[in-house]
């Protein structure tokens, strides 16, 4: 009877610890979403443009975490999970253009409470199957009621075209139970090349539009300056006439 009570207390304690452990990752995602919303509003206000199209987030399930820790052969403890599984909290950010990926990367790196642990650039160095994206493992502080926790978050930043390709590849990968036929593998690589070509073309078009907009704005500023100069002449003449009269 005593042993059963002890077991029950141990189970209850473990459940509480696991709940708090998982909550920390949820709070980390809440913190990151708040940061991204601030960056979006600020960027839109200053540049009249929002580089972020969509943000999605997820926390791995306990079952998925345990499978991964067993696969890695790491000790089955919360401390071991925390230090060896760095993608429990995941954030995926979809942007319009490739240049936006690096702009957003620089914005995150400039945040004082964000520590960049690791960066993998699969855009400059795509995976063999054609996958492209920018991956970052970051660490941010979460302030609990009785302590401060530093939590790992995996951030993936990609364009709309990259995200579309990755979503379809993921579905095909699991549809064929991770054994994709060779002809489909080749077609997926070709699709990745096509998606990249589309990204580069849209990047070029966007650059031309921005350059045209800047030229038009400069032209308007020049016309305003000319009109101001024309307006000053009668005023100067009027001042001279007043002085002559006095």
Question: CA-CA distance, 64 to 179, in Å (whole number)?
Answer: 21
pLDDT of residue 11: 62
Per the domain annotation, does 190 fall within a domain? no
Ramachandran region, residue 76 (left: φ > 0; alpha: ψ -120 to 50; beta: rest) = beta
Active site residues: 154
Per the domain annotation, does 222 fall within a domain? no
Per the domain annotation, does 119 fall within a domain? yes
| CATH number of the domain within which 39 lies | 3.30.460.10
Strands (E) across the chain are located at 52-59, 89-95, 115-121, 134-143, 148-159
The model's confidence at residue 86, banded by pLDDT at 50, 70 and 90, is: very high
Residue 123, SS3 per DSSP: coil
Radius of gyration of the chain (CA): 28
Per the domain annotation, does 22 fall within a domain? yes
pLDDT at 3 over 90: no
- What residues make up the domain containing 120? 2-165
Per the domain annotation, does 216 fall within a domain? no
Per the domain annotation, does 45 fall within a domain? yes
Question: CA-CA distance, 25 to 29, in Å (whole number)?
Answer: 6
The model's confidence at residue 172, banded by pLDDT at 50, 70 and 90, is: confident
Per the domain annotation, does 244 fall within a domain? no
Per the domain annotation, does 178 fall within a domain? no
Q: What percent of the chain has pLDDT over 90?
A: 49
Q: Which two tokens stand for residue 175?
A: 């549809």
Number of domains composing the chain:
1
Q: What percent of the chain has pLDDT over 70?
A: 84
- Cβ neighbors of 124 (< 8 A, separation 6 or more) are none
């Amino acid at each position: 009877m005593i042993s059963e009570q002890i077991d029950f207390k141990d189970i209850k304690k473990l459940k509480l610890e696991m709940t708090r452990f998982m909550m920390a990752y949820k709070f980390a995602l809440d913190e990151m979403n708040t940061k991204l919303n601030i960056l979006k509003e600020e960027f839109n206000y200053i540049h009249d443009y929002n580089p972020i199209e969509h943000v999605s987030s997820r926390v791995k399930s306990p079952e998925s975490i345990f499978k991964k820790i067993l696969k890695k052969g790491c000790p089955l403890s919360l401390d071991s999970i925390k230090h060896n599984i760095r993608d429990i909290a995941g954030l995926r950010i979809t942007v319009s253009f490739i240049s936006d990926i690096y702009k957003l990367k620089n914005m995150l790196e400039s945040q004082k409470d964000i520590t960049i642990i690791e960066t993998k650039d699969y855009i400059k160095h795509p995976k063999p199957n054609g996958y492209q994206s920018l991956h970052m493992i970051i660490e941010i502080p979460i302030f609990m009621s009785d302590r401060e926790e530093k939590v790992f978050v995996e951030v993936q930043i990609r364009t709309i075209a990259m995200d579309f390709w990755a979503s379809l590849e993921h579905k095909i990968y699991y549809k064929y139970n991770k054994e994709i036929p060779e002809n489909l593998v080749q077609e997926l690589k070709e699709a990745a090349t096509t998606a990249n070509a589309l990204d580069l073309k849209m990047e070029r078009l966007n650059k031309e539009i921005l350059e045209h907009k800047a030229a038009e704005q400069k032209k308007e500023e020049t016309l305003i300056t000319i009109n101001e100069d024309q307006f000053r002449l009668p005023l100067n003449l009027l001042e001279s006439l007043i002085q002559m009269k006095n």
